[in-house]
Amino acid sequence: MQQLQGKVAVITGGGSGLGRELALCCAARGMKLVLGDVDEKGMQETLRLVEAQTPGTESATMRLDVSKLEQLQALAELCTSRFGAAHVLFNNAGVSVGGAAWENTVDDWEWVMGVNLYGVVWGVKTFTPMMIAQGEGHIVNTASAAGWVNGPNMSVYNVTKHSVVALSETLALDLRDAGANVGVTCLCPAFFPTGIHESARNRPADKGDTVELSETALKRAELTKAAIQKGKIQASDIAEMTVKAVEEDQFYVFPHRKIKQLIGLRAQAAADEKTVFDSMNP
Ligand SMILES: NC(=O)c1ccc[n+]([C@@H]2O[C@H](COP(=O)([O-])OP(=O)(O)OC[C@H]3O[C@@H](n4cnc5c(N)ncnc54)[C@H](O)[C@@H]3O)[C@@H](O)[C@H]2O)c1
């Protein structure tokens, strides 16, 4: 979608981190914003920053949980009633939990699968028909390097992000088959500084039973936190690359070049029927 000026951007997880930076980037291109997040305060802070950077940006927010289909449907209705359309959907809200697959609780699985996978599925299910009907649109799914390369202590997260990659590729193929003028972008960043390592701040009480991390898992979690905080590429850079990918109808975005090498190593090792883990997971 070459021309974004005046179009409507819908951003889940718009109250923090990458979602906030996507909002700033979209506003800078003259887009109208519809933000959805469980964190109302975070969204208001995003809008404050947007107003300071691009005064007069038209916007709306909705407090919602992306794991619930009916709440995504309400977000779509807000887009229609307020702006008459939704042109670019960023399925971006995401959370993380550590632990080994057999130790993670049912709540761990349901919470993270609900936000990271079903949040994207419901976004696609709700907004794609609108975009097909209006004759144009673009869907951006925030996956992760974890959608390609499996690090330890991140079972649930890795599963969701691989699924988002699979969903994005299949969605693009099916849209092509349907002759729809709707683009797809799959964003796969490695670690960068945001609030993701503090995901539990937005964990619902009814999904509160979590894994007790082993000593090894706690060390792994500390390493992950440090990697996130020390990430050299900033959320603002990644947002800019992503919005550019929408403008250029680019499918994959790998902001961290090293990930492309690791994907190549993983693919080659699999093709050779060899283990990939020792070389890839320090
Ligand atoms: N930061 C990283 O290192 C990294 C790396 C790869 C991919 N990602 C992905 O980037 C995306 C954005 O995360 P971030 O890093 O900006 O983290 P973040 O914690 O700063 O932002 C995530 C946002 O999602 C919102 N959210 C959480 N649960 C929600 C729910 N049920 N419904 C609606 N909103 C909800 C949070 O309130 C928050 O505003 C996620 O999909 C994440 O998996 C992050």
What 3-state DSSP class applies to 99?
strand
Q: Are 132 and 85 in contact (CB under 8 A)?
A: no
pLDDT reported for residue 280: 58
pLDDT reported for residue 278: 65
Query: Which of 11, 38, 140, 196 to mutate for ligand 1's pocket (most ligand atoms within 8 Å of CB)?
Result: 196
242 lines ligand 1 (CB under 6 A): no
What 3-state DSSP class applies to 137?
strand
Digitized pLDDT (tens) for each residue of the chain, 282 residues in all: 999 999 999 999 999 999 999 999 999 999 999 999 999 999 999 999 999 999 999 999 999 999 999 999 999 999 999 999 999 999 999 999 999 999 999 999 999 999 999 999 999 999 999 999 999 999 999 999 999 999 999 999 999 999 999 999 999 999 999 999 999 999 999 999 999 999 999 999 999 999 999 999 999 999 999 999 999 999 999 999 999 999 999 999 999 999 999 999 999 989 998 877 666 554
CATH architecture classification, 8-257: 3-Layer(aba) Sandwich (3.40)
Number of Cβ within 10 Å of residue 130's Cβ equals: 17
216 vs 40, 108, 152, CA distance in Å? 35, 18, 10
Judging by beta carbons within 10 Å of its beta carbon (0-12, 13-18, 19+), is residue 1 exposed, middle or buried? middle
- Residue from 111, 109, 117, 120 nearest 199 by CA: 111
Query: Which of 11, 18, 233, 236 to mutate for ligand 1's pocket (most ligand atoms within 8 Å of CB)?
Result: 18
- Residue from 74, 71, 123, 119 nearest 95 by CA: 119
Atom index in ligand 1 nearest the CA of residue 197 equals 19
CA of 76 to the centre of ligand 1 (A): 20
CA of 177 to the centre of ligand 1 (A): 31
Helices marked H in 4-39: 17-28
Sheet holding 8-12, edge to edge: 59-63, 32-37, 8-12, 88-91, 137-142, 182-187, 252-253
Q: Are 98 and 224 in contact (CB under 8 A)?
A: yes
pLDDT reported for residue 276: 74
Q: Are 28 and 4 in contact (CB under 8 A)?
A: no
Domain range annotation of the chain: 8-257
| Catalytic positions | 157
Q: Number of helices and strands (H, E) in the chain?
A: 10, 7
**Rounded to a whole number, what is the largest CA-CA distance in the chain?**
57
65 lines ligand 1 (CB under 6 A): yes
